[in-house]
Amino acid sequence: MSGLPARGLVGIAAAGMLLLAACGGDDGGERLSKSEWIEQADAICAEADEGVDALTEPSTLDDIPEFTESASAISREALADLRALQPPEEDEATVDGMLDLVEQQIELGEQIGEAASDGDQEEVQRLAAEADPLEAEANERARQYGLEDCGEDEDDERR
C-alpha cells in the first residue's frame, strides 16, 4: 500500500473487532461471572474478527472508504452484542474504560474513511498515527482483564 498506513488502517478495524469485549452495559441483563463474560465476549470478538478478515484490505486511498465503512458496520454490530453482556459489577468500571478506547478507535476509523473520501492522504496518515496508541492501550487492558480473542495484537497475528 504505497504511502498509506496499511498496518494502521487494518489495525484500527481489527482493534475495533478484537477489543470490543471491553463493553459493559446497563440494559438490565443478568450479570455474568468474569469467566462467563470473557468466554462470551471472546466468542463475539472471534466472529467479528472473521468478518473483518474477510474484507478486502485497501490498497489505494480510494479503497479506504469502503473498507472503513464495512469494518465500522461490523464493529458497531459487535459492540451492540457486547453491550448486552453484563460484566461482574466489580469489573464494570474496568470494562467501561476499555469501551471508551474501543469507541474512540471506531470513530477514528470512520474519520479515516471520511478523510480518504476527501482525498486527504495526510489526514488519513495523521488519524492512523493517532489510533496506534489507542489500539496498544486497549489491547493491553483487554489482555490484563483476561481476554484472548479480544486482546490479540493483529500485527503479531499476521507475522
- For the chain, the domains span 6-23+30-148
Does residue 131 register a pLDDT over 50? Answer: yes
Facing residues of 31 across strands?
86
Q: What is the pLDDT of residues 6-39, one digit of tens each?
A: 445 555 555 554 454 344 444 456 899 999 999 9
Class assignment of domain 6-23+30-148?
mainly alpha
Please tell me the predicted confidence (pLDDT) of residue 138.
Answer: 86
3-state secondary structure 33-76: CHHHHHHHHHHHHHHHHHHHHCCCCCCCHHHHHHHHHHHHHHHH
Distances, alpha carbon 119 to alpha carbons 54, 86, 112, 116, in Å: 25, 41, 10, 5
Separation in Å, CA 133 to CA 5, 38, 102, 104, 158: 14, 23, 12, 11, 19
* Cell numbers 465503512: residue: 69
pTM (two decimals): 0.78
78-127 confidence digits (pLDDT tens): 877 877 889 999 999 998 888 788 888 899 999 999 999 999 999 999 99
Nearest to 62 by CA among 110, 123, 7, 4: 4
User: What is the phi-psi region of residue 28: left when phi exceeds 0, alpha when psi lies from -120 to 50, beta otherwise?
Assistant: left
Over residues 133-152, the mean pLDDT reads 88
